Amino acid sequence: MANEVVLLDFWPSMFGIRVRIALAEKGVKYEYKEEDLKNKSPLLLQMNPVHKKIPVLIHNGRPFCESPIIVQYIDEVWKDKAPLLPSDPYQRAQARFWVDFIDKKMYDSLRKTWTTKGEEQEAAKKEFFEVLKTLEGQLGDKPFFGGDNFGYVDLSLIPFYCWFYTYETCGKFNVEAECPKFIAWVKRCLQRETVAKALPDGKKVFEFVSAMRTNLGLE
């Protein structure tokens, strides 16, 4: 049966990058379609009428939305290669818990580091470092959140790294100085071809954000 896979995405989206890494880990061939978020395509609006957001995976004509749901679907369908979630139910529950934590805590606090100024920005920075410290604690001495192997939590978290140059420049802080263990984990992830290829260059993301910050009156 024809396996038609299309990904509607936006190049700097950390949520889209998750899906790109997952598809690469499984060796799935797919068509990548870049969306202009200021001018969403009829296809995107048709495939994700509820949220109208990317990423959307379209597999044999059926749409899948929300990156954790898409990644779990990919893991369940292409199950013969590179398992992303652990096989043990308790470890699986822990992996789901940590991706939920990342989604609840990382994105909002990070977004505020480049969309706000002054006191609000300072509070966001503080929150961000607390989140990183919690994640470092969870990582412990393991090479990856998944243990010996790169897995679901790792691939859900690493895409944020391509935004770090932006956060550090706008927020005037340095992650490696505060959280060296975290950056050591980042470097291990970047050694994987699938990750290195999926992450856009941090400076490119910063150029894109700079234009947006100008529009927001922050520069």
The interface region with another protein, picked from 66-74, 116-124, 180-188, 205-213 by CB under 8 A, is 66-74
Radius of gyration of the chain (CA): 17
DSSP states of 66-104: SHHHHHHHHHHHSTTSS--S-SSHHHHHHHHHHHHHHHH
Cα distance between residue 70 and residue 114, in whole Å: 28
For residue 70, state whether it binds another protein (rule: CB under 8 A). Answer: yes
Closest to another protein by CB, 118 or 137: 137
The interface region with another protein, picked from 5-13, 64-72, 143-151, 177-185 by CB under 8 A, is 64-72
Residue type at 11 in one-letter notation = W
Interacting residue with another protein among 15, 35, 72, 209 (CB under 8 A)? 72
Interacting residue with another protein among 73, 107, 173, 208 (CB under 8 A)? 73
DSSP letter, residue 31:
E
For residue 37, state whether it binds another protein (rule: CB under 8 A). Answer: no
CA distances, 165 to each of 48, 115, 174, 196, 197 (Å): 31, 15, 9, 16, 18
**Positions 106 through 135 that interact with another protein (CB under 8 A):** 134
Per CB under 8 A, residues contacting another protein are: 49-50, 62, 64-66, 69-70, 72-73, 76-77, 89-90, 92-94, 96-97, 100-101, 134
